[in-house]
Amino acid sequence: MKKNLEVAIEACLKAGEVIMEVYDTAFDVEYKDDKSPLTEADKKANEVINSFLEPTLIPIISEENKQTDYSVRKTWSTCWVVDPVDGTKEFIKRNGEFTVNIALVENGKPILGVIYVPASKTLYFADVAVNQAYKSDLNSHNTSLDEVVKHAKTLQTKKKSNQVEVVGSRSHMNQETLDFVENLKTSGKDVTIVSKGSSLKFCLVAEGNADIYPRFAPTMEWDTAAGQAICNAVGVDVISNDTNAALLYNKENLLNSWFLVS
């Protein structure tokens, strides 16, 4: 396993531990300027992740870091893209559907990705270069890398059929997504909607529990980079509606276009 992937896995596991410490308390919720929620879990997880990633000397784009100006960022050929708690709304609802996302991006493309689900201790990780993605169901946040590998099962996408499972957002279903589903139905497909929060939507497609994930609502780079790496590693594309090409990272504007995962 590549050293940077090992570092990202260790960072996710440790972040998951501090997140669950907050999850089990009566935590406060703040709201940022964009009205998105923020908890002590976001802050603590970010500190933990930075402590693991900073020694790699690779610059970091994290939702909870002060963003570096693009005049500097555009010189970065490689960077980490991090969401310490993806699905803070799900965290606040205490439904378990929140994740830690860490991706390594090279020349705008995710090359490594790790997604950790602290509530279930489920870990997804991928190396795009060798087309390998795995899922490990763990017993503890304090699991060694040897144990992670021992429990790892290769991800496999779903075989095509007339039964199409479409991933919908737990908190962001909108009319455009509903219209997309109706268009599939009119083409003769038998469509079922599977709802999930956070980057777990990417994982559903990558592990064969869904066929397609249309995202016709705003997301940021840290919401999608790790999920895209995991999907790309198993041959699933994440395509921008604007460019009809793969989503790119470390852009001047860190906001993603709408996209389709299939």
Is 176 in the same domain as 232? yes
DSSP-derived secondary structure for 212-241: BEEE-S--BHHHHHHHHHHHHHTT--EEET
- Residue 172, pLDDT score: 61
Within 10 A of 259 (CB to CB), how many other CB atoms are there? 22
Spatial distance between the Cα atoms of 1 and 37, rounded to a whole number of angstroms: 35
Region of 252 on the Ramachandran plot (φ > 0 left; ψ -120 to 50 alpha; else beta): alpha
DSSP-derived secondary structure for 32-100: -TTS-EEEHHHHHHHHHHHHHHGGGT--EEETTSPPPPHHHHTT-SEEEEEEEEE-HHHHHHT-S--EE
Report which of residues 47 and 185 the model is more confident about: 47
Backbone angles phi, psi at 84, to 5 degrees: -60, -40
pLDDT over threshold 90, residue 127: yes
Q: Which of the residue ranges 99-103, 192-196, 256-260 would you say has the lowest mean pLDDT?
A: 192-196
pLDDT over threshold 80, residue 56: yes
Is 129 in the same domain as 26? yes
Q: What mean pLDDT comes out for the span 4-25?
A: 97
- Residue 170, pLDDT score: 62
Report long-range pairs for 239-243 (Cβ below 8 Å, ≥24 apart).
Answer: 241/216
Q: What is the mean pLDDT of the chain?
A: 95
CB proximity list for 24: less than 8 A, separation 6 or greater = none
For position 75, which CATH number holds? Answer: 3.30.540.10
Report which of residues 163 and 252 the model is more confident about: 252
Q: What mean pLDDT comes out for the span 33-51?
A: 94
pLDDT tens figures, 76-90: 999 999 999 999 989
Is 98 in the same domain as 181? no
Environment class of 124 (CB within 10 Å of its CB; exposed 0-12, middle 13-18, buried 19+)? buried
Is 149 in the same domain as 184? no
- Residue 236, pLDDT score: 98
pLDDT over threshold 80, residue 37: yes
Is 145 in the same domain as 170? no
Q: Residue 60 is part of which domain span?
A: 3-154
Is 44 in the same domain as 75? yes
Q: What angle do CA 125, 204, 226 make, to 5 degrees?
A: 35
Residue at which a domain ends, from 154, 178, 204: 154
pLDDT over threshold 80, residue 119: yes
Is 249 in the same domain as 171? yes
For position 190, which CATH number holds? Answer: 3.40.190.80
Residue at which a domain ends, from 92, 123, 154: 154
- Residue 171, pLDDT score: 59
Is 114 in the same domain as 174? no
8-state DSSP, 255: B
Chain centroid to CA 220:
11
Is 19 in the same domain as 145? yes
Contact 261, 205 (CB under 8 A): yes
Is 148 in the same domain as 189? no
Strand, coil or helix: what is 153?
A: strand
The percent of residues in the chain predicted with pLDDT above 70, rounded, is 98
Contact 118, 102 (CB under 8 A): no
Number of domains in the chain: 2
Residue at which a domain ends, from 101, 134, 154: 154
pLDDT tens figures, 136-177: 999 999 999 999 999 999 999 999 888 999 998 665 678 898
Pairing of strands 99-106, 238-240: unpaired
Is 195 in the same domain as 148? no
Q: Terminal CA-to-CA distance of the chain, rounded, Å? A: 27
Is 168 in the same domain as 38? no
Report which of residues 104 and 197 the model is more confident about: 104
Q: Which of the residue ranges 13-17, 98-102, 159-163, 253-257 would you say has the lowest mean pLDDT?
A: 159-163
